[in-house]
Amino acid sequence: MLKRIAWALLAFLLVATLAFYAVGGRPGVLLLFVKYVMHQQYAPTQEVRWQAGPDQPVATRRPPNVVLIVADDLGINDITHYGGGIAGGKVPTPHIDSIAQQGVDFRNGYSGNATCAPSRAAMMTGRYATRFGFEFTPTPKQFMKAVTGMSAADQLHKPLYHPERESELIPYEDMGLPTSEITLAKLLQGANYHTVHLGKWHLGDNPQFRSYNHGFTESLSHLHGASMFLPTKDPNVVNAMQDFDPIDKFLWAAEPWAVRFKDGAPFQPPKYMTDYLTDEAVKVVEANKNRPFFLYLAYNAPHTPLQATREDYDALSFIPDHTMRVYAAMIRSLDRNIGRVLRSLKDQGVDDNTLVIFTSDNGGAHYIGLEGLNSPYRGWKATFFEGGIHVPFFMRWPGQIPKDTQVTAPVSHFDIFATAAAAAGQKPPTDRSIDGVNLLPFIKGEAPGRPHDVLFWRTDQYVTVRAGDWKLQVSQMPKKNWLFNLANDPTEKINLADKEPERLAALQAQLAEWSKSQRKPLWPSLGAAAIAIDHSLKQPSKATDEYIYYSN
């Protein structure tokens, strides 16, 4: 027994020491990792028993099922639907592409925000997340201190930390979607839908904020905003670590690897996370084939840490770059698994009565170190350039949405709420402002005009408006205005701010007026990082770079 305790203590000290040096030898950060290591006492794999629906269909005609599939940090050029694709289009994504081909492709689909959690809050509520104060992605203070304390030596613009804001901070676990909000799950649950959440949540970690208290009857959830796909030393995994990325260092050191069923104890999944979530999604479809269901399938792929199965990695031997090969293998896995979900709908005989929605929470991330993820658009996740917020956005509903339909008018993540509600025969709440609209009439050509004349985004002192085909970004760090005519310049190459002073002033006034209707953030941003618009974090910064500071 003593020998076992000694070995456990030695292992603990070794991991803690590695974590300490991974973040630059900062004692305060060491304590954070000690906390993580000591909390990684996860239970072994356990079987999830999903509630079984009736043996026979509940009615001859019933409202459609809704399946919302969300990828994490998927770049618009990661899929082959638009003629490109990861690794020069050599890794096809036929199953993701098929959702657009068999339904509608919103060619100007926008995320609710440029980072994950506010986008997901918009999807779930049908509202600007800033309308109820969910402006920043939940992050612990120690994490922000860690990642802002590290930066590559060749980066010109160092991260910022705001200690003066700490007095307004709330506990990390309480950084959640307000319980007063009505989610799509809660709305559909009230209409006798069986509601299930799988995967990423990131809208609050205390029990009152978890998905099962926001309208999901059942949930199999990641513990935090990010998760490993397999343990680092698993013989079936191939890892790609980014030594220039502080977030990556944090994840590898912490190695979060567990899921939670409802409010049970965390346990280890039995296999690669994307495969596992799909296995469970297929079981959910089978269990609920005879009653209306809403499935929110929130994959964490292809978010870092970059980890592929050895099988997928080996299948892409024609890709010479190791990081690109791992990332492409993750895309390959994601597409294959989405195909399994689509096939399960057919196998269970519910395909024709299911509205399938696919999107990504935001654009591809610069900190992966791969160029072109959002091509042809400029910018990355954490910017309001098109590369950060212009995302794949597809819907498929056989018999209700015509095949190969394109909608070119701008739409947003928060439209998912009103569209799914309308498909289910439900009306959005009338006691609050709902920013999203039902897209079905626009898809069918039954509604005139555009779903939205104006769309807004805000994160701290960085705000953006798209009004018609004009788009204005206003940054305070650096203090700069970017004004683009997207009709003529969809990739935002020509800044017209100096040439269009009257239009600039009018759009600034629209931004100011809209901000009055938004709420003060529920918690402050403690840190900000510089994001180069035109290259990844792996490339050295140059004095000529255009950049913005994005707060979190």
Q: Which residues pair with 65 in a beta bridge?
A: 354
Q: Return the C-alpha torsion angle 434, 439, 442, 446, nearest 10.
A: -80
Alpha-carbon span 460 to 528, nearest angstrom = 10
Check residue 152 and give its pLDDT: 59
Query: For residue 104, how far is the Cα from the chain centroid?
Result: 21
Q: Is 455 helix (H, G, I), strand (E, B) or coil?
A: strand
Longest CA span, the chain:
77
Residues 284/220, Cβ–Cβ less than 8 Å: no
Q: Which residues pair with 212 in a beta bridge?
A: none
Check residue 154 and give its pLDDT: 56
DSSP 476-540: ETTEEEEEEETTT-TT-----TTT-HHHHHHHHHHHHHHHHTSPPPSS---EEEEEESSS-TTSP
Check residue 1 and give its pLDDT: 41
Query: For residue 245, how far is the Cα from the chain centroid?
Result: 19
First-to-last alpha carbon distance for the chain, in angstroms, is 46
The tens-digit pLDDT sequence of the chain (552 residues) is: 433 433 333 333 333 433 443 434 443 443 444 344 444 578 999 999 999 999 998 777 899 999 999 999 999 999 999 999 999 999 999 999 999 999 999 999 999 999 999 999 999 999 999 999 999 999 888 888 877 876 655 568 888 999 999 999 999 999 999 999 999 999 999 999 999 999 999 999 999 999 999 999 999 999 877 789 999 999 999 999 998 888 888 788 878 889 999 999 999 999 999 999 999 999 999 999 999 999 999 999 999 999 999 999 999 999 999 999 999 999 999 999 999 999 999 999 999 999 999 999 999 999 999 999 999 999 999 999 999 999 999 999 999 999 999 999 999 999 999 999 999 999 999 999 999 999 999 999 999 999 999 999 999 999 999 999 999 999 999 999 999 999 999 999 999 999 999 999 999 999 999 999 999 999 999 999 999 999 999 999 899 999 999 998
Check residue 230 and give its pLDDT: 97
Which residue in 235, 220, 228, 223 sits closest to 254, CA to CA?
A: 228
- Residue 59 has φ and ψ, to the nearest 5°, of -160, 155
Joined tokens for residue 150: 């590290």
Residues 454/467, Cβ–Cβ less than 8 Å: yes
Check residue 151 and give its pLDDT: 63
pTM of the model: 0.93
Q: Where does 68-204 have alpha helices with state H?
A: 86-89, 94-101, 116-125, 141-148, 184-189
Q: How many residues does the chain have?
A: 552
Residue with tokens 């509630």: 51
Query: Where does 95-153+162-551 sit in CATH, by number?
Result: 3.40.720.10
Joined tokens for residue 179: 């319980």
Joined tokens for residue 294: 């809403």
**Rounded to 5°, angle at Cα 497 from 492 and 499:** 110
Which residue in 156, 533, 538, 163 sits closest to 323, CA to CA?
A: 538
